[in-house]
């Protein structure tokens, strides 16, 4: 039987000949027959109310439900946005929609192709990386996660970093350039036992048939997800980072469009850095290193000046009326504490209230602060605590009137 189908953007409309499916294979949905199919018409066979809308079953579907580490597809049915997908125990796919669909009516399915292609690229890249890591480097994969921005696989080998993984990345991209075919097929339980399948971890009690994904000369593995038809569709694979695990390493990677997006962002960042640093990319490390050295030197000078300023302000406070008071709207807690400590050295039995940007510090003898600290905090609409001659906290109100109330509390003590 000959049918016409519409494949992914940039791929021409073509005529496909549908042959007989092996008697061992289950009834295949459109996403299983052709992962590049982007539109389809199918009849609704069931519709029932559900939490969040209606669950609709179709005689066929474009949409891959979540499974095997791969997220579900997105798209529309007769213009309605697909809210979710569910796969039943017997393999039926249910579509969650906001509005009901009349049973027996034919609906138009449109796939979010960009999302599908992205998922295919990441999933097929994972198969390549996992197969090469095991066969050529002896690193088994223990887990895989396809994320919205980057994906990762967990390798059962600790101590790996990007330098150690350079060979794996190079080999993966060599496979990409070779445009190796990627095929899927169904086999019986008997045939499955005779094949060099990489992974045989399947649900308990599963008796087949088995869906296999083969990357020619690289990998043969059980998988229910959607994949590219050729490794060339991956464009490129990049390993972008690692994370240590107990007894293993998590490896982050990008494939296809994600590599191009990351490269575009890197180029934009490089251009922006060049403008900020006024030098070409090759000189960026040296320029940043120079700026860091200047920043460290400036930090030393700033701390020196802060210490001198704190001592100067403390002297002024110790010579003035008691209890002493200082308000600097721009002062942070470190500045207030420095002045308070310097004040205590000059005037151990004195009291000083220092306030800054939403903060306060009360300096004085520890035995007096125990009672006075909470009273001052209450006058400033705040809370605090402390010890060793300092009571500090945040203040909700630092108006002249609020500060005067706090000072009045100290004067009356």
**pLDDT the model gives residue 200:** 65
**pLDDT the model gives residue 9:** 36
Give 370-378's long-range contacts (Cβ < 8 A, gap of 24+): 371/413, 372/409, 372/410, 372/413, 375/409, 376/406, 376/409, 376/410
Picking from 395, 371, 255, 372, the residue whose alpha carbon sits closest to that of residue 323 is: 372
Give 24's DSSP letter.
Answer: T
**pLDDT the model gives residue 22:** 38
- Stretches in the chain below the pLDDT threshold 50: 1-24
Pick the CATH number of 117-272 from 3.30.1540.10, 3.10.310.30, 1.10.3720.10, 3.30.980.10: 3.30.980.10
**pLDDT the model gives residue 18:** 27
**pLDDT the model gives residue 91:** 82
Give the span between the Cα atoms of 64 and 110, in whole angstroms.
13
Q: Class of 2-111 per CATH?
A: mainly beta
390-394/14-17 β-pairing: unpaired
Residues of the chain with CATH 3.30.980.10: 117-272
**pLDDT the model gives residue 319:** 92
**pLDDT the model gives residue 409:** 92
User: Between vectors from CA 270 to CA 264 and to CA 275, what angle results, nearest 5°?
Assistant: 130
Give the span between the Cα atoms of 213 and 210, in whole angstroms.
10
Q: Class of 310-411 per CATH?
A: alpha beta
| Beta-bridge partner residues of 291 | none
Residues of the chain with CATH 2.40.30.130: 2-111
Residues of the chain with CATH 3.10.310.30: 310-411
Residue 180 · residue 234 · CB < 8 Å: no
Picking from 175, 153, 159, the residue whose alpha carbon sits closest to that of residue 240 is: 153
Picking from 13, 111, 26, the residue whose alpha carbon sits closest to that of residue 62 is: 111
């Amino acid at each position: 039987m000959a049918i016409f189908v519409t494949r992914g953007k940039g791929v021409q409309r073509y005529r496909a000949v549908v042959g007989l499916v092996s008697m061992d294979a289950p009834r295949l949905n459109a996403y299983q027959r052709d992962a590049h199919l982007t539109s389809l018409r199918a009849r609704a066979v069931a519709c029932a109310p559900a939490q969040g809308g209606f669950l609709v079953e179709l005689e066929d579907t474009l949409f891959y439900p979540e499974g095997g580490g791969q997220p579900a597809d997105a798209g529309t049915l007769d213009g309605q946005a697909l809210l979710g997908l569910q796969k039943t125990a017997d393999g039926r796919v249910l579509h969650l929609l906001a509005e009901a669909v009349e049973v027996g009516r034919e609906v138009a399915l449109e796939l979010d192709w960009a999302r599908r292609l992205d998922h295919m690229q990441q999933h097929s890249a994972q198969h390549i990386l996992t197969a090469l890591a095991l066969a050529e480097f002896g690193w088994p994969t223990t887990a895989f996660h396809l994320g919205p921005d980057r994906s990762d696989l967990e390798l059962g080998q600790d101590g790996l970093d990007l330098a150690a993984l350079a060979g794996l990345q190079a080999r993966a991209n060599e496979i990409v350039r070779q445009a190796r075919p990627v095929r899927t097929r169904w086999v019986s339980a008997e045939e499955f036992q005779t094949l060099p399948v990489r992974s045989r971890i399947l649900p308990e009690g599963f008796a087949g048939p088995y869906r296999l994904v083969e990357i020619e000369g690289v990998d043969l593995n059980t998988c229910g997800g959607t994949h590219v038809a050729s490794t060339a569709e991956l464009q490129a694979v990049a390993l972008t980072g690692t994370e240590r695990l107990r007894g293993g390493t998590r490896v982050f990677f990008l494939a296809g469009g994600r590599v191009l997006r990351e490269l575009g962002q890197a180029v934009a960042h490089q251009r922006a850095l060049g403008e900020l640093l006024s030098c070409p990319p090759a000189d960026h490390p040296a320029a940043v290193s120079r700026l860091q050295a200047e920043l460290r030197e400036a930090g030393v000078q700033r701390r020196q000046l802060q210490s001198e300023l704190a001592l100067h302000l403390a002297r002024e406070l110790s010579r003035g009326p008691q209890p002493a008071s200082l308000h600097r709207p721009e002062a942070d807690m470190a500045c207030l504490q420095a002045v308070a400590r310097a004040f205590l050295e000059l005037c151990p039995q004195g009291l000083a209230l220092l306030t800054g940007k939403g903060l306060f510090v009360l300096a004085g003898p520890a035995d007096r602060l125990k009672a006075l600290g909470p009273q001052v905090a209450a006058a400033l609409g705040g809370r605090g605590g402390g010890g060793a001659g300092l009571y500090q906290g945040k203040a909700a109100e630092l108006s002249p009137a609020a500060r005067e109330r706090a000072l009045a509390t100290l004067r009356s003590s």
